[in-house]
Amino acid sequence: MRETPLDAGSVELVLQSSLELLGAYAAWVLAAAAVHWLLPPARRKAWLALSGAAFLASWFPAPLAAALAASTAALHAAGARARRGKEGWPAAALAFSAAAALLLGGRAHFLRYDGTFLVFEDVLPALFIGIYLKKAAYFLYEARYGRLPAYGAADTAVYFFSLPFALGPGVVAAPSHLQESYGKREGRAAAAHGLQTVLDAVLHLAGCWAVFRLFGSFMFGRELLGRLAQGRVRAPEIWAALGLAYLSFYLLRYGYEQLCVGTARLLGFDLRDNYAEPLLASSYAEHWRRWNVHFREMVMAFFYYPVMLRLARARPSAGASNIVAACWTTFFGHGLFVVAANAVFYSPGSWPGLRDSACRIALFEGLQWALVSGSLLRSRSQPGAPQPASGLREAAGIATTFALRAATLPFLALNRKQLAWSDVAGLLGAAFGL
Amino acid sequence: MTEGVDALERAILGFLQEKSDAALRGLAVTRETPLFDSGALDSLLIIEFALFLEQRFQVRIEAHEIDRRNFATVSAVARLVAAKQGPR
């Protein structure tokens, strides 16, 4: 299949679709929050689940909605069996696999090739399913280990279908956290806290827009790449472009995901923030701890703790290789989840796009693995009790971490349409004076 | 049982006060310091901590037990260990 560059018409379709969705979402949030706080507490969760499911169903093809409902019922049943000490995994895995096969069979996709152009469509189902896959795994994990002792059907439905938790990668929160955080703030206090978070998120999104507006043509634009090819760009200019691109990426991610956290808070779920000031991290490992906190916790629980604990018991003297191996497993697992979530964005036949996406993610996860492992090994190599770092050393650590993170970003944009291999090699070569 | 938990808490607190770099960030580790959110336990120290608990108190810490609830505070960890040891 021939690939075609994105054209202006495709971009307009995306924008139009996004704005329609955003408007509908905002209307839902206002209505859902108002009704939620007017209802007696016993009926609030059912309202959130029903209203969220109705909203989603209005945007989804009927077979997809039915598959999701069946899959969720199977997951809930598996969770209930696990709570009773019975094995519920095989049935849940079967139901989940069947649903996934149906979803990937062309019922939900984001990119479609119409013979001339790649066309964007069905953004909501694709977005939803990417999140759903991760949440299903988290739900089964927590049920299996007894963390959901009193999880009713309404809790399950809220977790999978209430809108704040259905659309944001930042709120792939543990189901147990969702349950425990509900009701910690009531009425006005919850609304004020939620609105404050939403406002903060919107300000970050506005900041992202401003950076793009002011420097968009500068960051990896054709003009910069053209001058790079002619050898007319110097290292400081490349670093400025990398830094601005990273800043805008952070503002976008923070804004989008905290928007979901804020919406959840409006509805009484006092979720933790998804970012803990990652720009102030003074090492790469610390940066990873502060970035996308909810999803990181899931990946750590699935991969890092089991592998690292087993290795540390079996080979206590092999500290360095244990770290490298545990980090490799963690980022491999992290990449698998990201690739699976990305897969739903491609319709059958768009395999070159999916292959490009998988290669890009594999490369990026490999870089993260190397940088986080290196950072952990470095911290471990300092003997004795932890020593305080001087202000200058701390500042140097923050600047280095920022620069490293910025330098990995072009790999995320690596594909045939945005940045080619030669562009990335040229950018980083010029940045590092090679 | 209460005295047992107190002794556990003291031992756990001693380990963390020696090993964690939280104090370097102006944070005193106490029985109620949030260990996860404050960064007092990073990804390496938490494994070392789990092995310390196993060796010192003769219990088995499973990987799925390392979470925000069980490792929320020194007191929460002491309760986990005490529950694993059973009534004495």
In chain A, the residue whose alpha carbon lies closest to the alpha carbon of B47 is A309
Q: How far is A388 from chain B (nearest CA, A)?
A: 5
Tell me whether A289 touches chain B (CB under 8 Å).
yes
- Mutation target vs A (from B17, B37, B47; most A CBs, 10 A cutoff): B47
CA A31 to chain centre: 27
Cβ separation B42–A289 shorter than 8 A: yes
Cβ–Cβ of A301/B66 closer than 8 Å? yes
Q: Where are the domains of chain A?
A: 8-182
Please check whether residue B41 is in contact with residue B49, taking contact to mean a CB–CB distance below 8 angstroms.
yes
Q: What are phi and psi of A145, to 5 degrees?
A: -100, 20
Q: What residues of chain B lie within 8 A of the CB of A141, using their CB?
A: 64
Cα of A112 to nearest chain B Cα, Å? 41
A377 touches B: beta carbon within 8 Å = no
Chain A nearest CA to B64, separation (Å) = 7
Q: Residue A171 and residue A284: Cα distance in Å, rounded?
A: 23
Name the residue facing B63 among A305, A376, A389 (closest C-beta): A305
Please tell me the predicted confidence (pLDDT) of residue B1: 45
- Tell me which residue in A177, A300, A386 faces B24 most closely, judged by beta carbons: A386
- Residue A4's pLDDT is 42
**A309 part of contact set with chain B, CB < 8 Å:** yes
Which residues on A lie below 8 Å from B20 (Cβ)? 386
Mark yes or no for CB contact A312/B51 under 8 Å.
Answer: yes
Question: Does the CB of B20 have a partner CB in chain A at under 8 Å?
Answer: yes
By the CB < 8 Å criterion, does A297 face chain B? Answer: yes
What pLDDT is attached to residue A7? 47
| Yes or no, beta carbons of B43 and A316 under 8 Å apart | no
On chain B, the residues whose CB falls within 8 A of the CB of A304 are: 43
Q: Is A320 at the interface with chain B, CB within 8 A?
A: no
Q: Which residues of B touch A376 (CB under 8 A)?
A: 43-44
A201, amino acid identity: A
Residue of B nearest to A180 (CA): B69
Strands (E), A23-133: 111-113, 118-120
Determine the Cα–Cα distance for residues A344 and A341; give it in Å rounded to an integer. 6
Who among B39, B43, B51 is closest to A304 (CB)?
Answer: B43
The reply to whether B69 touches chain A by the CB within 8 Å rule is yes
Query: For residue A314, what is the nearest residue in chain B, using CA coordinates?
Result: B51
Note whether A245 and A431 are within 8 A (CB): no
CA dist A261 and A254 (Å) reads 10
pLDDT confidence of residue A38: 93
Task: Tell which of B25, B44, B52, B68 to mutate to test the A interface (max A CBs under 10 Å).
Answer: B44
Each of the 434 residues of chain A gets a pLDDT tens digit; together they read: 334 444 444 545 555 556 666 777 888 888 988 999 999 999 999 999 999 888 888 877 777 788 788 888 888 888 888 777 766 666 666 666 666 655 555 555 555 555 555 555 566 677 777 788 888 889 988 988 888 888 889 999 999 888 777 666 556 889 999 888 998 888 889 889 999 999 999 999 999 989 888 887 777 667 777 788 787 888 888 899 899 989 999 998 899 889 889 989 998 999 999 999 999 999 999 999 999 999 999 999 999 999 999 999 999 888 899 999 999 999 999 998 888 877 766 666 666 777 778 888 899 999 999 999 999 998 877 655 556 667 888 899 999 999 999 999 888 877 656 677 788 888 888 888 77
Tokens of A269: 């779920």
Return residues 159-218 of A near B (CB < 8 Å).
176-177
Instruction: At B39, give phi and psi (nearest 5°).
Output: 80, 10
A308 burial via Cβ count (<10 Å: 0-12, 13-18, 19+)? buried
Q: Which amino acid is at A348?
A: P
B37 pLDDT band (50/70/90 cuts)? confident
Provide the Cα torsion A162, A261, A270, A337; round to 10°: 70
Please say whether the beta carbons of A22 and A127 come within 8 A.
no
Tokens of A153: 């059907």
B-facing residues of A in 19-78 (CB < 8 A) are none
- Which amino acid, one-letter code, is at A293? V
Going by pLDDT thresholds of 50, 70 and 90, the confidence category of residue B76 is very high
Chain B residues touching A142 at Cβ < 8 A: none
pLDDT for A348 equals 60
Chain A CA closest to residue B61: A309
Q: Measure the CA–CA gap between B77 and B72, rounded to whole angstroms.
A: 7
A176, A140 contact by CB (below 8 A)? no
Interface confidence (ipTM) of the complex:
0.91
Over residues B42-60, the pLDDT tens digits come to: 899 999 999 999 999 999 9
pTM of the predicted model over 0.80: yes
CB contacts of A300 in chain B (<8 Å) are 43
**Which residues of chain A lie closer than 8 angstroms to B24, CB-CB?**
386-389
- Distances from the Cα of A301 to the Cαs of A97, A153, A223, A295, B64, in angstroms? 22, 25, 44, 10, 7
